[in-house]
Chain A
């Protein structure tokens, strides 16, 4: 991977993978029929790292996480988690990982404590340690006083917190979180991140998570950007943003098409339409704007300049913003669904 080689060459203070990395992935690939969901990816995650997998829906994040969790077998390549091979040592991997899925997997008819107890029994946690451990993980997510409440009566945020607590019941060495904050309100999202950081401090645990929230990816130690089944960039958020080298300028005009042509003609800039505005990257954005207003041949109704964000990083590697990428994916899904319905009617 080009991005990884770059990091090593210029000596950015990336947490160097230690002797036995928590996760090590070599040429991992998964094919579903014709679809190459994951196309031979390579990366390592050091013990104690918070590692984020970023990408639009359908980029191959969940497929990768499923392979690492032993839930699906790789088509080719290999991976080890906590030092164990995900294909040949499935059981050892499972004993050492905690999982929080995108979709809920709690028993809504049981109480919170019963759910955790069940988990502890399935994982063979020593009987006399079940209670203290349960108290600890539930206190961490602020649910200890609700331990005897039936899960069915919990809100979405409480359930997600309980799932995280359950994933930690057996002191896993690696915790996998598949979109842990999806569909939650900002406050709950924030508190889940507090738990994640608290965990990292207290339990020497490695956290591997997927997200498609750019702002959340900032909280990770390192992130890998995934697009169309490939890792297109991998580094710390700071290094990735610094690597963009340009500021992001957004202008609103009456005729976006014409504005793009004019930008290319007058300034040699390559602009794109994103979310109804014209967006382009330029070094020293604040100095460029006065020049733009002085020389641009079309009227500009609004302008914004921003430092590079992970959105820009994403854009510079994939040529699209994550939201646009998801819209496209959504349209493709709708198209397929429509075709299927038509096929059904015939």
Chain B
């Protein structure tokens, strides 16, 4: 792992009977950072050693993009001003793939509890907040990686591989992944059984996903849906992604106006930075709740 390059490593074969004595230092910022790093790293090790998980996590976005996308294209060809439906929902899919991967990462807290590993972390002389932060950063990194895989599909849905666009989308994906992992951890601390956790998250995630406008433009909706859409936190990740992607599309102004109407608050078009801020603030708030809950459990 990280500590192999020291010159001392020549002494790694100690004389048979000599005891290597180590000491545990008092808690410090440095030791907390080390704890965060190793919890983060563990998430990555587990993700990259589980190729099946990487593959299965791709199934859903692929279904949405190519099956739902190609199917609905038959109906919507007339109303999309010649833009492929797959292209329209692509930004939404970028968000959805992150959503589910991040939630899956958070679920590992429930697994860790069931398989006892959580206890190993709970008795360590580190702050509980370090464990939660490490976990959320790990979930964000893993979900971000999954997002990159979906980003690679851009060409297949007529979106150019523009470096600026990719970078901007990636930043948004990381923010969203962090917020969702924090949300998942917040729930996972309370729920002790995997089945219940899956049930609760499905119940929460599916409406979030459908209401967010990931699969349709958010203008001209019925009032009730517009209200729900503006409340849905995921909206504020999907909309900027759509804006970023559409900026790099070569389409008619009419199509742009119809398909990327943008989120408005009482007629005010919410700028990308504000939308990103909404995601960040919500993420930090949920992280705070997760830390508080985690610290107050025995």
Contact = CB atoms under 8 A, between A and B. Distances in A.
Contacts of A125: 22, 24
Given A131-B12, A202-B19, A124 B24 contact: yes
A99 B20 contact: no
A83 to B, nearest CB: 14
A94 B124 contact: yes
B37 interface: yes
B164 interface: no
B22 A129 contact: yes
Nearest to A131: B12
A264 B45 CA distance: 69
Contacts of A122: 34-35, 38, 120-121, 124-126
B27 to A, nearest CB: 6
Interface stretch (A39-47, A100-108, A318-326): A100-108
Nearest to B124: A122
Contacts of B26: 95
Interface in B19-41: 19-27, 30-31, 34-35, 37-38
A105 B37 contact: no
Contact of A106 (B11, B25, B37, B117): B117
Interface string A308-337: 000000000000000000000000000000
A20 interface: no
B25 A124 contact: yes
B3 A69 contact: no
Interface in A88-126: 91, 94-96, 99, 101, 103-110, 113-114, 117-126
A181 interface: no
Contacts of A36: none
A129 B20 contact: yes
B123 A99 contact: yes
Contact of A101 (B49, B116, B125): B116
Contact of A124 (B4, B17, B34, B298): B34
A105 B3 contact: no
A71 B298 contact: yes
A91 B130 CA distance: 14
A161 interface: no
Given A101-B116, A123-B125, A135 B22 contact: no
Interface centre among A122, A131, A135, A171 (most CB of B within 10 A): A122
A114 B12 CA distance: 17
Interface centre among A106, A114, A124 (most CB of B within 10 A): A124
A15 to B, nearest CB: 22
A128 B3 contact: yes
B116 A103 contact: yes
A131 B4 contact: yes
Given A109-B49, A121-B37, A128-B6, A94 B123 contact: yes
B19 A136 contact: yes
Nearest to B32: A124
Given A107-B42, A125-B24, A131 B14 contact: no
A165 B145 CA distance: 34
Contacts of A117: 1, 38
B117 A128 contact: no
Interface string B123-158: 111100000000000000000000000000000000
A133 B11 CA distance: 11
Contacts of B116: 101, 103-106
Nearest to B16: A139
A105 B12 CA distance: 27
A203 interface: yes
B125 A127 contact: no
Contacts of B50: 109
A132 interface: yes
B22 A170 contact: yes
B24 A123 contact: yes
B9 interface: yes
B257 interface: no
A260 interface: no
Interface in B30-85: 30-31, 34-35, 37-38, 42, 45-46, 49-50
B13 interface: yes
9 contacts: A107-B117, A109-B49, A114-B1, A122-B34, A122-B120, A123-B24, A124-B25, A127-B3, A171-B23
Interface of A: 69-73, 91, 94-96, 99, 101, 103-110, 113-114, 117-133, 135-136, 169-171, 202-203
